[in-house]
């Protein structure tokens, strides 16, 4: 059996593909899109759809993308890291949040110490209260989010054909 992996697809696009006859032979296996606690509601709606339909959510930029320093310094993230017994950094808090949500994360680093630190999140758990506090950060307007929905629908993201 073959599978399809997609990137930056929203619920409407996922449903469109899922209803194609070809999807029986090649179902959607994963959807990679920008996802952190600061993402907009529609990203979480997409993640929920994916999890409900057995599509792996691959959260790219789980540490806040271009605004990683700002995200890691956010008072909620830093506060949880400061009080947590096992998660000693804001990075670990954000990675653990994503894992507990059921998302796959791909933190990029070439630093062996960061690799070890990233793997330590599997030995810890955030409380329900911590998760709720982190979930409350969604729709945070001061963080950048790459929203390609309108561009894809209007065709702006597609090259124009020559007449």
pLDDT digits (tens, 9 = 90+) for 42-58: 999 999 999 999 999 99
**What residues make up the domain containing 20?**
4-151
**Given a cut of 70, is residue 143 above it in pLDDT?**
no
pLDDT digits (tens, 9 = 90+) for 61-110: 888 777 778 888 899 999 999 999 899 899 999 999 999 999 999 887 88
Position 163 in a domain: no
Question: How far from chain centre, in Å, is Cα 19?
Answer: 24
Position 158 in a domain: no
Residue pointed to by tokens 């124009």: 160
Position 157 in a domain: no
Domain count, the chain: 1
Position 159 in a domain: no
Q: What average pLDDT does range 104-120 have in this prediction?
A: 90
Of all residues in the chain, what percent are helix, strand and coil, respectively (each to 5)? 50, 10, 40
Position 161 in a domain: no
Position 53 in a domain: yes
Q: What is the pTM of this model?
A: 0.84
What CA dihedral angle connects 31, 32, 38 and 44, to 10 degrees?
Answer: 0
pLDDT of residue 57: 97
Position 147 in a domain: yes
CATH number assigned to the domain comprising residue 97: 3.20.20.100
pLDDT of residue 149: 55
pLDDT of residue 146: 59
Confidence band, pLDDT 50/70/90 cuts, at residue 142: low
Confidence band, pLDDT 50/70/90 cuts, at residue 144: low
């Amino acid at each position: 059996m073959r599978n399809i992996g997609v990137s930056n697809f929203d619920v409407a696009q996922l449903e469109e593909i899922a209803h194609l006859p070809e999807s029986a032979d090649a179902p959607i296996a994963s959807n990679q899109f920008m996802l952190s606690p600061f993402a907009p509601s529609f990203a979480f709606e997409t993640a929920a759809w994916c999890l409900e339909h057995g599509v792996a959510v691959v959260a790219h930029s789980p540490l806040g993308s271009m605004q990683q320093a700002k995200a890691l310094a956010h008072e909620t993230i830093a506060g949880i890291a400061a009080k947590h017994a096992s998660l000693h950094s804001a990075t670990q808090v954000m990675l653990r949040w994503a894992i507990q949500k059921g998302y796959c994360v791909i933190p990029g680093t070439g630093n062996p110490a960061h690799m070890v630190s990233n793997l330590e999140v599997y030995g810890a758990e955030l409380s329900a209260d911590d998760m709720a506090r982190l979930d409350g950060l969604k729709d945070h307007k001061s963080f950048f989010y790459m929203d390609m929905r309108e561009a894809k629908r209007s065709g702006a993201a597609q090259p124009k054909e020559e007449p």
